[in-house]
Amino acid sequence: MDLKKIFNITTSDQYLYAYLHLVNRSEWESSHEPSDVLINELIKFLHHHKIQYGIKQDVLHSIIKNIDEVQFPVLIAEGMPPVNGVDGSVEFKVDHSVRMELNKREQIDFKNVMKIPTVEPGEIIAVIHDPTIGQAGKNVYGEVLKPKEGVSISLAAGENTTYVEEEQAIYASNFGQVSLINQEIKVLPLYEVSSTLDLKTGSIDFNGSVLIKGDVPEGFKVDAKGDITIEGLVEGANITAGGSIYIREGITAIGKGAIKAGVDLTTNHINQGYVYAGRHIRVEQSIIHSNVSAGASISCQKGHVIGGTVSAGNSISCQDIGNRMHTPTQVFLGESKTSREHRVNTDIEYEKLKSEVSKLTQLGQLLKRKQQQEGLSNKEKLTLEKQTQLLVEKQLKLQELSKEYEAFDQYYDLSEFMKLTIHGTLYPNTEMFSGKYSKKFNRIQQKVVVLFKENDFYTEPID
């Protein structure tokens, strides 16, 4: 019996599954071969198609017993998929960020007292777990499928900490606050101010973490290498932290000062402020007429984003954006407003330099041609000398700008699947930007997700 005329075989991606197709039922039914012979013929047929592993004997017997009860195409062989390794991880034994209690809706309760994580000498801070290599699989051809090995975690023991290699653990070697800055665990001293900053306390510049149990009025500065925790209000002040910033009452800046966190920023509201965080920004209430930028994400839990600009590397989530007065509101995904303006200015400068290089090149060619034919006057010789020097300077600057263009192109490759999530209302006169692309929304939309992918903006309803 020629089984090639009766059956056909297809396989899935990575050849993990093989399916048997019945293409000529009458040819099979006309066969009078014994069952054991047919089984062997079917196995030889599979082997002819290089199917070696995971052959389903029960399916073969079902075909022999009563082919009419078999639903074709039928899974005839099944490989074993590889099990990828697990990435390395860090198990923190203590809190490493200021903690504020969440209510049942997972919203910050700013009425609760902030808990500052501190440790004592000899206290264990974290344990580092190695990645696993995973387990190899095998496809239906009997070929080994290699697993993807887990990636090691990058974490270093910083100031006032000790790494014990046998335990793969990090311990505190001094009193202080635990801070995680740039993948480095540190125990930093804590400087505490028991009241609002005034002329008596002055501004603060501290090589550690700072706790202020009051307000920071306009004109004051607070700089800290670690985290900054402020239990009151920030008004038009300059606040800079190498770690995270926590402001319980909120930010009312009146367009003055700036707040910059190396890691995260958490606050109640932002009004007319300039705020930046290297990773996440979390706001309980509203962001109004402010310039807010985060390296990863912005979450405005139950308030509005009205006016100004908000920028995030990956995602922005809020209740409403814009308002009924159609206040212009700008949203930047992937790059901030400042970065976009820099790119536009770079584009203008690049085109200007190209034009200047072209003109200088033409001038040089004319002068050199004249020099060969009839010679140059002293004035023309000086002009050629200046032209040569200026051309080299312009070409070097053009090369530098070309490298910036390459960086912009890399950004476009990484800008897929960024999103803005609006749990309430998206109002007209809201404009979104991502790289060189933009879109202005001119109608009210409710409960939508705006995605940027494949160099365009798409609006989808929230599930």
Look at residues 283, 273, 345 and name the one whose alpha carbon lies nearest to residue 309: 273
What tokens were used for 301? 């839990």
User: At 140, is the pLDDT very low, low, confident or very high (cuts 50, 70, 90)?
Assistant: very high
DSSP for 128-165 reads EEPP---B-EE-TTS-EEPPPPPPPP--EE-TTEEEET
The whole-number pLDDT of residue 98 equals 53
- Specify whether the CB–CB gap between 306 and 290 falls below 8 A: no
Between 401 and 194, name the one with better pLDDT.
194
Coil, strand or helix at 68: helix
What tokens were used for 276? 């930046």
Lowest mean pLDDT among 126-130, 189-193, 281-285: 189-193
Block residue for tokens 């012979």: 37
DSSP for 360-409 reads HHHHHHHHHHHHHHT---HHHHHHHHHHHHHHHHHHHHHHHHHHHHHHHH
Look at residues 190, 191, 186, 188 and name the one whose alpha carbon lies nearest to residue 201: 191
Look at residues 143, 131, 106 and name the one whose alpha carbon lies nearest to residue 18: 143
The whole-number pLDDT of residue 411 equals 45
The whole-number pLDDT of residue 14 equals 83
Whole-number Å distance between alpha carbons of 59 and 18? 12
CB within 8 A of 388, min separation 6: which ones? 364
pLDDT above 70 covers a percentage of the chain that reads 89
User: CATH number for the 89-187 domain, one of 2.40.50.100, 3.30.465.10, 3.40.50.460, 3.40.50.300?
Assistant: 2.40.50.100
The whole-number pLDDT of residue 414 equals 43
Neighbouring CB atoms inside 10 A of 93's CB total: 15
pLDDT above 90 covers a percentage of the chain that reads 44
What tokens were used for 384? 């050629």
What tokens were used for 157? 């023991």
pLDDT at position 285 over 50: yes
The whole-number pLDDT of residue 106 equals 46
pLDDT at position 413 over 80: no
Between 55 and 98, name the one with better pLDDT.
55
Lowest mean pLDDT among 162-171, 198-207, 215-224, 343-352: 343-352
Instruction: Give the start-to-end residue ranges of the domains of the chain.
Output: 3-78, 89-187, 188-338, 339-414
pLDDT digits (tens, 9 = 90+) for 352-410: 888 888 888 988 888 888 888 888 888 888 888 888 888 888 888 888 777 666 655 54
Lowest mean pLDDT among 19-33, 141-155, 223-237, 305-319: 19-33
Lowest mean pLDDT among 54-58, 243-247, 274-278, 409-413: 409-413
- Whether residue 73 is preceded by a cis peptide bond, meaning omega within 30 degrees of 0, is yes
The whole-number pLDDT of residue 116 equals 61
Coil, strand or helix at 123: coil
pLDDT at position 138 over 90: yes
The whole-number pLDDT of residue 109 equals 44
- Specify whether the CB–CB gap between 122 and 151 falls below 8 A: no
- Specify whether the CB–CB gap between 124 and 106 falls below 8 A: no
- Specify whether the CB–CB gap between 18 and 11 falls below 8 A: yes
The whole-number pLDDT of residue 404 equals 64
What does pLDDT average to over the chain?
85
Lowest mean pLDDT among 37-46, 85-94, 397-406, 413-422: 413-422
User: CATH number for the 339-414 domain, one of 1.20.58, 3.90.550, 1.10.287, 1.20.1630?
Assistant: 1.20.58
Average pLDDT over residues 419-431: 93
Look at residues 257, 250, 260 and name the one whose alpha carbon lies nearest to residue 215: 250
The whole-number pLDDT of residue 318 equals 93
pLDDT digits (tens, 9 = 90+) for 312-362: 988 999 999 999 999 999 999 876 566 666 667 777 888 888 888 888 898
Sheet holding 169-172, edge to edge: 89-92, 124-129, 169-172, 161-164
Average pLDDT over residues 90-110: 59
Cβ burial, residue 347 (10 Å; 0-12/13-18/19+): middle
- Specify whether the CB–CB gap between 415 and 435 falls below 8 A: yes
Which residue type is seen at 232?
A: G
Whole-number Å distance between alpha carbons of 309 and 307? 7
User: At 142, is the pLDDT very low, low, confident or very high (cuts 50, 70, 90)?
Assistant: very high
Look at residues 177, 280, 161 and name the one whose alpha carbon lies nearest to residue 229: 177
Average pLDDT over residues 79-108: 73
pLDDT at position 25 over 90: no
Which residue type is seen at 223?
A: D
pLDDT at position 76 over 90: yes
H or E segment to which residue 209 belongs:
strand 209-212
pLDDT at position 412 over 50: no
